[in-house]
Amino acid sequence: RSFSSCDDLISVKVERNNPLKIYKDVFSSTTYWKATLYVPKGSSSVYFEADNWKQFQKIEEYNPEVKVGDIYYSIDKDNLIAEVIPTVDYTKYAGDIVIPSSITHDNITYNVTSIAERTFYDCNEMTAITIPSSVTSIGKEAFWGCSGLNSINVEEDNLVYNSGNGCNAIIE
């Protein structure tokens, strides 16, 4: 009955590919009806069939999140790409950030191709960022409220963004 009185839950996220055994009354009937259950990519069919997990009316998959160095990424194992994402531990990015063109996680290399929406939102202590040529997509408000940011460097061979001619800005 751990969450049975939490009728305001709107999402439940699990990080296991194989569901743990839970009892029917762990969540309220309202939660099963209105909350979205987020499961790792490729595991939704197992949750749709698992006792009590299958009571969730909405089950959606997400790409795994990993931390490499001081940067968080969402990795797409099918396409071997990674997206820079907001921190998942409620801290903010700070100092000089250098995004690599690729990362390695569990002995698999992923190309870093994007920065998610609001990734650096209100990161007031971030002072500089270097964006590699592999990044071809930057989400909305990615740098919103970064009052301490005074240098944006985009690698010269980036075909989508640049910081050339001393403009120190991202231009599409």
Sequence-separated (6 or more) residues with CB below 8 Å from residue 120? 86, 93, 97, 126, 129, 142, 143, 144, 146, 149
- pLDDT tier at 166, thresholds 50, 70, 90: low
Whether this prediction's pTM lies above 0.85 is answered by: no
pLDDT digits (tens, 9 = 90+) for 92-137: 999 999 999 999 999 999 999 999 999 999 999 999 999 999 999 9
| Separation of alpha carbons 7 and 164, rounded Å | 52
For the CA atoms of 116, 118, 119, 125, the dihedral, rounded to the nearest 10 degrees, stands at 160
**What sections of 63-112 are H helices per DSSP?**
none
CA terminus-to-terminus distance, the chain: 52
pLDDT digits (tens, 9 = 90+) for 61-95: 988 889 999 999 999 988 999 999 998 777 899 99
Half-sphere exposure at residue 131, Cβ-oriented, CA atoms within 13 angstroms: 28
